[in-house]
A and B are shown apart, each in its own frame.
Chain A
Amino acid sequence: MSSRILPEFELLPHDIDEAVKMLGLHQGKASIMAGGTDLLVMMGDGFRADYVLSLGNIPDLAYIIEESGKWLRIGAMTTLAEVAESKVVQEKYTALWQSAAQNGSPQTRNMGTVVGNLLRASPSGDCCCAVLALDGWVVLEGPQGRREVAIDDFWLEYRATARRPDEIAVEVKLPDVKGNTTSAFRAMTRTTLDLAKLNAAVRLDMSGKQCENARVAIGAVAPTTIRVRKAEELIRGKEINEETLEEVGKVVSTEVSPIDDVRSTAEYRRTISGVLVKRVIEEACKGV
């Protein structure tokens, strides 16, 4: 006997238009399920959705498309495992690749999706961290058609996103990266299979030893995954060496507002945030 979690699926749209209509009908009462690795856990913990809309019957939502010189597009039903198996992602978007490959367990990677990870808007989401560093965009489709939201504007607060109740997130896009761009991701966990107590990702656009531009993201230290702009400013236009890294380490801890929970303490997160960012930058530099 097992505790039954799965609901009756009343909402099984066959295309995006139908899905958007269904969402419009049930204004805010429907939960969207892609892989279900977050939703089912929430339901196991007692969350009851009035309706669950499954994306399972909508064809062609699982893809990784590289539009050379423009975007890398990842569909809403593309699983973490598929991302982890992608050579393009591994070589060009290393931070995302690492965040997918280390995410959860083989079982959850086979079900869970990158887009789902972003929509969950958990401050400790591994892919959130990587997509924020990689300057991604979330593509939403609603009654008024398509719109794109920069990841910087996507998370409004703890577990809240810019997606409207009648919109479906259909894909995430990452701007194309050139040969001099490098990225890395790293999470700290209690055991190998655990949610991050702290995670960080960076994207560095390098010119020789000099960093032309940087995006630094850190998770589990604020209500949403955040960028550490002061750290970005510190390295922008500079050579990345021990000295700059030392400064970055110091500034990160002043930019975070972590809390105590079962995974760690606020004090530890604050102390280590700089170390983690420093190490992720070092790792990204190795990839140049």
Chain B
Amino acid sequence: MQEELRVVGKRVPVKENFDKVQGKADYCATITLPGMLVGKLLHSPHAHARVVSVDTSRAEGLQGVKAVVTKKDDPRKIFTWNVMTYQLPDGEPQDQYIFDDVVRYVGEPVAAVAAVNEEIAKKAVDLIEVEYDVLPAVFSVEDAVKKGAPRVHDTAENNIGAPPTPVFCYGDVEKDFSESDTIVEGVFSTSKQSQAGLENAGCVAEWRNGRLTVWSQAQLPHMTKRMIAQALDIPESTVRVIQPFAGTGFGAGTDLCPEPYACLLTMKAGAPVKVALTRSEDLRMRFTREHIVRVEMKMGVKKDGTPMALKAKYTGDAGAYMGKILSGCGVALASNITEYEFKSMYQEIEAIYTHHLACGAMRGFGGMQSTFAREILVDEVCEKIGMNPIEFRKKYHRGVGGLGWFPDTKISSCGLDACLDVGAERIGWKGKWQGWGAKKEGIRRRGVGVAAMGWLSGAQPMLLEHTNATLKFNSDGTCTLIGSPGLLGQGVLAAHCQIAAEVLGIDYDDVRPLTPQDTDITGFDIGTHASRGCYCIGRAVEKAAQQARELFLERASKKLGVAADALDIKERRIFCKDDPEKGIEFREIAQDTIYSFGKDCRQITVNATIEPTEFAPPWQAGFAEVEVDTETGVVEVIKMIIAHDIGRAINPTVVEGQLEGGQLQGIGFALFEDIIISSENGVNLTDSFNKYKIASMLDCPDHEALLVELGDPTGPFSAKSCGESGIFLQAPAIANAIYDAVGIRLRDVPMTPERVLAALKNKSSTQTN
């Protein structure tokens, strides 16, 4: 085992939080530039229409209006809001224009205005006259593929964005199903959840002296920069993306949203422009959760539970553009491979265009949907063969060396057994689970359920996950950590500083992360997605710190006249391993690098590049105890436990915070969060927080996030990821607990009282018949 760690593993405070809690942190919402204009968008009221004409003359005539942009101002370069398209060699489909001749969802921008204040900008928007040729629209994947259905894109016959495509299949599922003793299957549906960030989508853009600076909530700043340049048809080096703190995230920043409009406006107006969406606009036009509208899954096992075959199909409601629907379905599929050792698997994905808002990404991308289906079916299989659902999971999950998400990837570590043990203990499984078919009485009935999953720490090697981290040292022995994870409140910068300090033998306070982040300063980084921040960027930080450490030791070796490899650094002091009394302060060496009067100045600035190859899955077990009111269908979560295999928690407080926040979003996904789009006209009926409900602290049940730290050989200080993990297991564990309580199998999230009651009614009528 490693020697004792001094900084890693400690609950040190996240540095940026001091500014945040004092209200001193800058967000896109707070940034004000001299002469800044206010931008407002004109949205289509129609789900599908040809834009015949846009008359902006009255708007332009209004005093205080500085620019109006429409499709005439659009350089008409095809692009996509999905900046992650650059992570694949062939990219994801690109099918958007900033302004198109056709609008394809209610809320799609048709024009934008920049004016000296918000009132004038709003008035000007109202003065724009648009002539629409309203066309028929489709609002479900079922209707979209019908013969004669309205086409969302001329190029997509039958609205098929991607036909059913098998991916990463292995073995012979038909043969293995025929040799299975028990087969279960189901069709599941999941809702489109909103990231529901505290800060609505917003950005500031400034075109000045031939350069375009964009203050953005981007999670992936460097690829955002490239996409903006692509859309505007200007050289990439013209664009600079600055990321202040983002009051949102959860995947929202992996797509553009107001940026293209703000950029067109500032380029026309010649003054900086802020476009800050209202909550209603945010809910209507920001890309949100990948909408895998249907999961069909079937699994076969032997009598003793041996997993034989798994077959699945994931159908994505792409909405108006392809956005991230293909990668969302792809992740549903890939993440489903790793959990259990099935002899064979056949899975396919398909995507269908509709006149809905297109899909982005949200925490738990794709895995939410396949995990929900799989973990319920595993429960059903266990009941049929009479096996304890914890035992099945322990016995048949894949382990170290087993198949990863992507072909040729292997599992580097697995702490799932420990997660299942510690979680079962904490929920009191032994006393509470009374076996299959246990009789429960009364109006209110309690039940317990379990679910499990394995996730990833970055999407390598499938996606490009190139990362750079730079450490620049000051004369006082401190350093600036220059990285670009995107500042979405994930707390990962604390972990990065801890990693650097630990390697360098200096204090946490000595490492200062760069904020705001700026693509003119930071090296290339993919940014934050796929739970990669700590693992991938952390490895780059670790490598940079190691390189800096070598340089410091080299320099100290000259000063002390001792070989570098005989030296060590601890508590800001460089000393001889054999003779700890002999040494020099780290600070003194740092000062000498900058104020050296022996013609030996050389500021230490190191950059490290990482292209990770391992995907280092974190594992998790989730346990729910619920009480179901059989008269009203109301499900109360009594207790929710998640036990998470983190490898090592670089900062346990940050890890717990991530997991606990995930619990609330997971409960929301499981029980009530639901974007409702009118099937008549495509209008989002839940475009405010009094209609679209997210959990508040008052909805938080008794819950715990338990950490299992068994290490991972590939991670920085053995760490794996936790960014997305908190959100997955509430829905399947609650569904399984509901079954334990009242004997109904739910197939759809959210599991509202309305659905629970209908299922209870259905069950009692089936029993009576």
Measured CA separation A265–B631 after assembly (Å): 16
Q: Is B695 an interface residue (CB 8 A)?
A: yes
Q: Is the CB of A41 within 8 A of B690?
A: yes
Q: Is the CB of B118 within 8 A of A265?
A: no
Q: Is A286 an interface residue (CB 8 A)?
A: no
Instruction: Provide the B600-637 mask, 1 if CB < 8 A to any CB of A, else 0.
Output: 00000000000000000000000000000001111000
Q: Is the CB of B757 within 8 A of A191?
A: no
Q: Is the CB of B118 within 8 A of A192?
A: no
Q: Is the CB of B754 within 8 A of A265?
A: yes
Measured CA separation A275–B630 after assembly (Å): 11
The 5 A-B residue pairs with the shortest CB-CB distance, nearest first, are A192-B698, A268-B754, A191-B693, A190-B672, A275-B631
Q: Is B691 an interface residue (CB 8 A)?
A: yes
Instruction: Provide the B625-663 mask, 1 if CB < 8 A to any CB of A, else 0.
Output: 000000111100000000000000000000000000000
Q: Is A188 an interface residue (CB 8 A)?
A: yes
| Residues of B within 8 A of A (CB-CB), count | 31
A264 to chain B: closest residue by CB: B754
Q: Is A271 an interface residue (CB 8 A)?
A: yes
**Cβ of B722 to closest chain A Cβ, rounded Å:** 26
Indicate the member of B274, B690, B696 with the most A CB atoms within 10 Å: B690
Q: Is A272 an interface residue (CB 8 A)?
A: yes
Overall SS of chain A's interface: loop
Q: List 17 A-B contacts (CB under 8 A).
A: A1-B38, A1-B118, A3-B118, A41-B690, A188-B753, A191-B694, A192-B696, A192-B698, A193-B698, A195-B690, A262-B692, A268-B754, A268-B757, A271-B757, A272-B633, A275-B631, A275-B632
CB contact under 8 A between A188 and B672, given known A193-B698, A195-B690, A271-B757 = no
Measured CA separation A275–B758 after assembly (Å): 15
**Cβ of A221 to closest chain B Cβ, rounded Å:** 15
Q: Is B228 an interface residue (CB 8 A)?
A: no
When distances are taken between beta carbons in the complex, the residues of chain B under 8 Å from A262 are: 676, 685-686, 691-692
**Cβ of B519 to closest chain A Cβ, rounded Å:** 24
Instruction: Provide the B442-473 mask, 1 if CB < 8 A to any CB of A, else 0.
Output: 00000000000000000000000000000000
Measured CA separation A74–B699 after assembly (Å): 32
Measured CA separation A69–B714 after assembly (Å): 79
Q: Is B409 an interface residue (CB 8 A)?
A: no
Instruction: Provide the A260-280 mask, 1 if CB < 8 A to any CB of B, else 0.
Output: 001111011001100110000
When distances are taken between beta carbons in the complex, the residues of chain A under 8 Å from B276 are: 1
Q: Is B278 an interface residue (CB 8 A)?
A: yes
Q: Is B119 an interface residue (CB 8 A)?
A: yes
B31 to chain A: closest residue by CB: A1
Measured CA separation A4–B754 after assembly (Å): 38
Q: Is A194 an interface residue (CB 8 A)?
A: yes
When distances are taken between beta carbons in the complex, the residues of chain A under 8 Å from B676 are: 262
Q: Is B29 an interface residue (CB 8 A)?
A: yes
Indicate the member of A1, A263, A275 with the most B CB atoms within 10 Å: A1
Q: Is the CB of A190 within 8 A of B693?
A: yes
Measured CA separation A191–B634 after assembly (Å): 11
**Cβ of B466 to closest chain A Cβ, rounded Å:** 36
Q: Is the CB of A188 within 8 A of B686?
A: no
* B residues 686-736 in Cβ contact with A at 8 Å: 686, 688, 690-696, 698-699
Q: Which one, A4, A45, A267, A268, contacts B119 given CB within 8 A?
A: A4
CB contact under 8 A between A1 and B274, given known A190-B672, A193-B698 = yes
B674 to chain A: closest residue by CB: A262
**Cβ of A151 to closest chain B Cβ, rounded Å:** 25
Q: Which one, B118, B280, B690, contacts A194 given CB within 8 A?
A: B690
CB contact under 8 A between A193 and B631, given known A262-B685, A262-B691 = no
**Cβ of A14 to closest chain B Cβ, rounded Å:** 29
**Cβ of B654 to closest chain A Cβ, rounded Å:** 27
A278 to chain B: closest residue by CB: B631
Q: Is the CB of B118 within 8 A of A272?
A: no
Q: Which one, B29, B274, B695, contacts A191 given CB within 8 A?
A: B695
Q: Is the CB of A272 within 8 A of B119?
A: no
**Cβ of A6 to closest chain B Cβ, rounded Å:** 12
Measured CA separation A192–B274 after assembly (Å): 35
* A residues 1-22 in Cβ contact with B at 8 Å: 1, 3-4
When distances are taken between beta carbons in the complex, the residues of chain B under 8 Å from A272 are: 631-633, 753, 757
Q: Which one, B118, B672, B693, B695, contacts A4 given CB within 8 A?
A: B118
Q: Is the CB of A1 within 8 A of B753?
A: no
B629 to chain A: closest residue by CB: A275
Q: Which one, B119, B280, B634, B699, contacts A192 given CB within 8 A?
A: B699
When distances are taken between beta carbons in the complex, the residues of chain B under 8 Å from A276 are: 632
Q: Is the CB of B696 within 8 A of A193?
A: yes
When distances are taken between beta carbons in the complex, the residues of chain A under 8 Å from B632 are: 188, 272, 275-276
Measured CA separation A268–B692 after assembly (Å): 19
Measured CA separation A272–B699 after assembly (Å): 22
When distances are taken between beta carbons in the complex, the residues of chain A under 8 Å from B693 are: 190-191, 194
When distances are taken between beta carbons in the complex, the residues of chain B under 8 Å from A265 are: 754
**Cβ of B650 to closest chain A Cβ, rounded Å:** 33
Q: Is the CB of B691 within 8 A of A191?
A: no
Indicate the member of A191, A194, A271 with the most B CB atoms within 10 Å: A191
**Cβ of A259 to closest chain B Cβ, rounded Å:** 13
When distances are taken between beta carbons in the complex, the residues of chain A under 8 Å from B29 are: 1
Measured CA separation A1–B690 after assembly (Å): 22
* B residues 516-543 in Cβ contact with A at 8 Å: none
When distances are taken between beta carbons in the complex, the residues of chain B under 8 Å from A41 are: 690
When distances are taken between beta carbons in the complex, the residues of chain A under 8 Å from B757 are: 268, 271-272
When distances are taken between beta carbons in the complex, the residues of chain A under 8 Å from B672 are: 190-191
When distances are taken between beta carbons in the complex, the residues of chain B under 8 Å from A4 are: 118-119
Measured CA separation A183–B754 after assembly (Å): 28
B690 to chain A: closest residue by CB: A195
B688 to chain A: closest residue by CB: A45
Q: Is the CB of B695 within 8 A of A268?
A: no
CB contact under 8 A between A3 and B278, given known A191-B699, A262-B685, A268-B757 = yes
When distances are taken between beta carbons in the complex, the residues of chain A under 8 Å from B698 are: 191-193
Instruction: Provide the B670-688 mask, 1 if CB < 8 A to any CB of A, else 0.
Output: 0010001000000001101
Measured CA separation A265–B119 after assembly (Å): 38
Measured CA separation A194–B633 after assembly (Å): 18
**Cβ of B672 to closest chain A Cβ, rounded Å:** 5
When distances are taken between beta carbons in the complex, the residues of chain B under 8 Å from A264 are: 754
Measured CA separation A194–B686 after assembly (Å): 13
When distances are taken between beta carbons in the complex, the residues of chain A under 8 Å from B119 are: 4
**Cβ of A64 to closest chain B Cβ, rounded Å:** 26
**Cβ of A106 to closest chain B Cβ, rounded Å:** 10
Measured CA separation A108–B752 after assembly (Å): 26
Instruction: Provide the B81-124 mask, 1 if CB < 8 A to any CB of A, else 0.
Output: 00000000000000000000000000000000000001100000
**Cβ of A109 to closest chain B Cβ, rounded Å:** 13
**Cβ of B751 to closest chain A Cβ, rounded Å:** 12
When distances are taken between beta carbons in the complex, the residues of chain B under 8 Å from A263 are: 691
Measured CA separation A272–B694 after assembly (Å): 23
**Cβ of A24 to closest chain B Cβ, rounded Å:** 30
Instruction: Provide the B346-383 mask, 1 if CB < 8 A to any CB of A, else 0.
Output: 00000000000000000000000000000000000000
A275 to chain B: closest residue by CB: B631
Instruction: Provide the A140-180 mask, 1 if CB < 8 A to any CB of B, else 0.
Output: 00000000000000000000000000000000000000000
When distances are taken between beta carbons in the complex, the residues of chain A under 8 Å from B695 are: 191
When distances are taken between beta carbons in the complex, the residues of chain B under 8 Å from A193 are: 696, 698
When distances are taken between beta carbons in the complex, the residues of chain B under 8 Å from A191 are: 672, 693-696, 698-699
Measured CA separation A157–B276 after assembly (Å): 38
**Cβ of B25 to closest chain A Cβ, rounded Å:** 16
Instruction: Provide the B19-31 mask, 1 if CB < 8 A to any CB of A, else 0.
Output: 0000000000100
When distances are taken between beta carbons in the complex, the residues of chain B under 8 Å from A45 are: 280, 688
**Cβ of B452 to closest chain A Cβ, rounded Å:** 27
7 extra A-B contacts, CB within 8 A, seeds A188-B753, A271-B757: A1-B118, A188-B632, A191-B696, A193-B698, A194-B693, A195-B690, A272-B631
Measured CA separation A194–B692 after assembly (Å): 10
**Cβ of A69 to closest chain B Cβ, rounded Å:** 39
Measured CA separation A262–B698 after assembly (Å): 21
B753 to chain A: closest residue by CB: A268
